[in-house]
Structure 1
Amino acid sequence: MQKQIPNILSVLRIIFSFILLFLKPFGGLFYAVYIFCGLSDMLDGYIARKTKSVSRFGSVLDSIGDMVFCAVMLYIFIPVITAYTFIIIWVIGIAVLRIISIATGYFKYRKITFLHTYLNKLTGFIIFCVPLLYKVIDINILFIIPCSIASISAIEELIIIVKLKEPDRDIKGFFS
């Protein structure tokens, strides 16, 4: 049972991400569920490594959980950022790069390949902080940092997928 905890956390993150859609955005319960989702993302991989239960399935499940969580948060944030067209265009550009990476990895390796690079992890953490800070930092400034890092990590991921002969989901970065 202990070895299933990481996968259970990933599944719970997916379920709780969808629950966020039914909560009042940026209210107390919303933030409690949001923080649970973020903590489950940080803990699943850590627990998997500590219990020696790292698996390809768990890695893919974690990546699916990340994608669902990000998609739900984008859906929640779109009404907040609609006045800022450049941010929406930037986010769409990042999403297109990510889709190109997924498609490239799929056609090259015949499997969906999500990379767990340091830049992707940093991007996830910074994006996680956005809803926690959006009421205290101007939204123009708040989105510049995560969009910049997300752009760099998306480009890095695409370059890695193009350059690698075999997929390495746990590669740390382009120069590692």
Structure 2
Amino acid sequence: MIKEIPPMLSFSRIGISMILPFIEVFSPLFLLLVAVAALTDVFDGIISRRMGFPAEKGRMLDSIADGFFVVSLLICIIPNIVLEDWMIIWIAALAIFRIIAIAVGSIRFGKAAFLHSYLNKATSAGIYLSPVLIAFIGVPATIVILGILATVSTMEHFYYNLTSDEYDPNAKGVFFVKKN
């Protein structure tokens, strides 16, 4: 039963992602659901590592749940804020390059190459905080901060998948990669 907790947390994040578009954006319930989703993201990995559960399927499910959540959050927030053209282009370019980075790694390593680096984790944290950041510092500042973070993490992901000798989804970043 305990070994089912991490996948249940990831599946609950997918469920939250499907409910979120039906909740009033920036409402207390919306913010609560985003916070719960963030907690499921944190605790699924912690519980898996501490209990020594098989990692490959868990990491894959976690990455899929993250993807669902990001898409859901974008679907919710974007229609409710004013975005300038440069912001839309930046967000679209990031999405395209992130998909390409994952595809390159998947082709090179023969499996879905999601990377759980420090930069990717920081980007995820920023995404979870984005509704609060928008409320406190505004849309342009939030886009710049998260855009820079996401750009650097996407570049790292791309670089890792292009240059790494072997696939290690838990590589902490490009400065931590072992070379043969």
Report the TM-score, using the length of structure 2 for normalisation: 0.94
Residue 94 (structure 1) aligns with: 94
Residue 80 (structure 2) aligns with: 80
Residue 38 (structure 2) aligns with: 38
Rounded to whole Å, the distance in 1 between the matches of 2:42 and 2:54 is 14
Rounded to whole Å, the distance in 2 between the matches of 1:71 and 1:5 is 24
Letter in 1 for 2:61: L
Structure 1 residue runs of 5 or longer lacking an equivalent are none
Q: Is the 8 A contact 1:45 1:54 kept in 2?
A: no
Q: SS where residue 171 of structure 1 aligns?
A: coil
Letter in 2 for 1:12: S
Rounded to whole Å, the distance in 2 between the matches of 1:172 and 1:5 is 25
Letter in 1 for 2:156: E
1:109 deviates by: 1.6
1:82 deviates by: 4.5
Q: Is the 8 A contact 2:134 2:142 kept in 1?
A: yes
Alignment root-mean-square deviation, CA? 1.1
Number of corresponding residues: 176
Same amino acid, percent of matched pairs: 36
Q: Is 1:141 aligned with 2:180?
A: no
Report the TM-score, using the length of structure 1 for normalisation: 0.96
Residue 129 (structure 2) aligns with: 129
Residue 24 (structure 1) aligns with: 24
Q: SS where residue 172 of structure 1 aligns?
A: coil
Residue 63 (structure 1) aligns with: 63
- Residues 125-154 of structure 1, C-alpha deviations (whole Å, 9 max, x = no match): 112111022122121111111110100000
Q: SS where residue 167 of structure 1 aligns?
A: coil
Q: Is the 8 A contact 2:25 2:80 kept in 1?
A: no
Rounded to whole Å, the distance in 2 between the matches of 1:80 and 1:27 is 12
Rounded to whole Å, the distance in 1 between the matches of 2:36 and 2:54 is 21
Structure 1 runs (4+) deviating above 3 angstroms are: 80-83
Rounded to whole Å, the distance in 1 between the matches of 2:82 and 2:139 is 11
Q: Is 1:13 aligned with 2:13?
A: yes
Structure 2 residue runs of 5 or longer lacking an equivalent are none
